[in-house]
């Protein structure tokens, strides 16, 4: 695998890898769950996007870009991490957000403002088109913006997760553990593309499970197949590892905290003192719990925590309600 791609130092790696004995006991099944803590990647409350931005920000600097521009939901973790990366490399950051300013204040949104990102609200318009118009406006005023698509899921970004896989394998080998399964949240596809390439390179033989947050199988496949192929080409690798994508956990839609997500958030918090987020990792762990209960996941299972915990503070109302009725 090609390893000499340019980077900027945004992360504190390796992130911890450790067992979850009390959570595993809570599951009361033939399973030993471990966690990879990418909520602790290091900058501005961490998360998976910093691994992608390590390569994306370097690409922007290599092209002498003057601004970073990206898009996402009002509570986008990716936007918050892009704003932090921009601050770190000293470029202005422009965030094109879905919806209206009052949809879900606090959480990531207040962090975007602390990090001095310039916010644009797309209302119900397509955010990619809205981002293109911000990019055109910047170009018209003589700037040279670097546009990062949703989730930073380009081949340049996805390589961050191919290397993350190798980091995890190195840690696991030192501890002397081999995982039967790895479970992670998947949405814009970059994490999935990278992990599947990393797994293909390391001769692993377990099962890789992507819990889809907001796409059915067909639409996620459409997003990830080209992305994975292009990332593999960039890294000069031949064979990405197959991913079992689960689309049974879409619940009541993107960003809707349901009973199963709440159960997962509370189980991880109360048994291990580890916070998940209500949108991605809460849903992904709910998928893991269900797969364990159905007997589909056994042995040593790694849950990849991809971050997002600042969004908890934007879900105060739902969390309070959930805690009242539990």
Q: Which residue, 138 or 158, has its beta carbon nearer to ligand PLP? A: 158
What's the token pair of residue 113?
Answer: 């403002």
In the complex, the smallest distance separating the C-beta of residue 137 from ligand PLP, rounded to whole angstroms, is: 25
How far is residue 86 CA from its own chain's centroid?
A: 18
Q: Which residue, 190 or 322, has its beta carbon nearer to ligand PLP? A: 190
Q: What is the CA radius of gyration of the chain?
A: 19
Return phi, psi of residue 194, to 5°. Answer: -65, -50
Q: Which residue, 54 or 186, has its beta carbon nearer to ligand PLP? A: 186
190 binds ligand PLP, rule: CB under 6 A = yes
249 binds ligand PLP, rule: CB under 6 A = no
Q: In what order do the strands lie in the sheet with 299-305?
A: 17-19, 31-37, 299-305, 181-186, 207-212, 243-246
188 binds ligand PLP, rule: CB under 6 A = yes
Q: Which residue, 78 or 209, has its beta carbon nearer to ligand PLP? A: 78
Neighbouring residues of 324: CB distance < 8 A, sequence distance ≥ 6: none
Q: What distance in Å separates the CA atoms of residue 172 and residue 169, rounded to the nearest whole number?
A: 5
Return phi, psi of residue 119, to 5°. Answer: -100, 140
Q: Which residue is nearest to ligand PLP (CB)?
A: 308
Residue 142 three-state SS: coil
Q: Which residue, 75 or 291, has its beta carbon nearer to ligand PLP? A: 75
- From 24, 41, 82, 186, residue interacting with ligand PLP (rule: CB under 6 A): 186
306 binds ligand PLP, rule: CB under 6 A = yes
Return phi, psi of residue 186, to 5°. Answer: -130, 135
153 binds ligand PLP, rule: CB under 6 A = yes
In the complex, the smallest distance separating the C-beta of residue 136 from ligand PLP, rounded to whole angstroms, is: 25
- Please work out the total of residues on this chain that contact ligand PLP, with binding judged by CB under 6 A: 20
Q: What distance in Å separates the CA atoms of residue 314 and residue 316, rounded to the nearest whole number?
A: 6
Could you tell me which stretch among 135-143, 168-176, 187-195, 238-246 binds ligand PLP (CB under 6 A)? 187-195
Interactions with ligand PLP, residue window 38-97 (CB under 6 A): 47-48, 77-78
Could you tell me which stretch among 28-36, 87-95, 190-198, 315-323 binds ligand PLP (CB under 6 A)? 190-198
Q: At what angle do helices 155-175 and 190-201 cross, to 10 degrees?
A: 50
In the complex, the smallest distance separating the C-beta of residue 25 from ligand PLP, rounded to whole angstroms, is: 26
Burial of 228 (0-12, 13-18, 19+ CB in 10 A): buried
Q: What distance in Å separates the CA atoms of residue 90 and residue 113, rounded to the nearest whole number?
A: 16
In the complex, the smallest distance separating the C-beta of residue 100 from ligand PLP, rounded to whole angstroms, is: 20
308 binds ligand PLP, rule: CB under 6 A = yes
- From 41, 82, 191, 207, residue interacting with ligand PLP (rule: CB under 6 A): 191
The residues assigned a catalytic role are 76
In the complex, the smallest distance separating the C-beta of residue 121 from ligand PLP, rounded to whole angstroms, is: 19
Strand pairing category for 31-37 and 17-19? antiparallel
228 binds ligand PLP, rule: CB under 6 A = no
Q: What distance in Å separates the CA atoms of residue 163 and residue 267, rounded to the nearest whole number?
A: 30
Give the count of beta carbons closer than 10 Å to the beta carbon of residue 66.
Answer: 14
Residues near ligand PLP, by CB under 6 A:
47-48, 77-78, 151, 153, 185-192, 277, 280-281, 306-308
């Amino acid at each position: 695998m090609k390893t000499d791609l340019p980077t900027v130092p945004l992360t504190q790696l390796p992130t911890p890898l450790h067992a979850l004995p009390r959570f595993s006991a809570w599951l009361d099944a033939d399973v030993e769950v471990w966690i990879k803590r990418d909520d602790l990647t290091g900058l501005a409350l961490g998360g998976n996007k910093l691994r992608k931005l390590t390569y994306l920000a370097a690409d922007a600097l290599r092209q002498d870009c003057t601004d970073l521009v990206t898009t996402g939901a009002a509570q986008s973790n990716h936007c918050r991490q892009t704003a932090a990366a921009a601050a770190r490399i000293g470029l202005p950051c422009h965030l094109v957000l879905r919806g209206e300013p009052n949809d879900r204040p606090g959480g990531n949104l207040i962090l975007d403002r602390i990090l001095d990102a310039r916010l644009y609200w797309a209302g119900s318009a397509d955010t990619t088109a809205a981002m293109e118009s911000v990019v055109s406006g910047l170009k018209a005023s003589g700037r040279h913006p670097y546009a990062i698509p949703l989730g930073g899921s380009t081949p340049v970004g996805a390589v961050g997760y191919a290397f993350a896989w190798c980091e995890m394998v190195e840690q696991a080998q030192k501890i002397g553990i081999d995982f039967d399964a790895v479970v992670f949240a998947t949405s814009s596809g970059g994490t999935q593309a990278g992990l599947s390439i990393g797994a293909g390179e390391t001769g692993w033989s377990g099962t890789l499970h992507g819990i889809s947050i907001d796409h059915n199988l067909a639409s996620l496949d459409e997003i990830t197949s080209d992305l994975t192929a292009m990332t593999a080409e960039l890294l000069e690798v031949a064979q990405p590892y197959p991913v079992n994508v689960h689309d049974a956990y879409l619940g009541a839609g993107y960003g809707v905290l349901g009973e199963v997500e709440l159960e997962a958030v509370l189980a991880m918090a109360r048994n291990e003192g580890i916070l998940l987020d209500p949108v991605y990792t809460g849903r992904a762990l709910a998928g893991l719990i269900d797969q364990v209960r159905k007997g589909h996941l056994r042995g040593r299972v790694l849950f990849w925590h991809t971050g997002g915990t600042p969004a908890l503070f934007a879900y105060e109302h739902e969390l309070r309600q959930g805690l009242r009725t539990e």
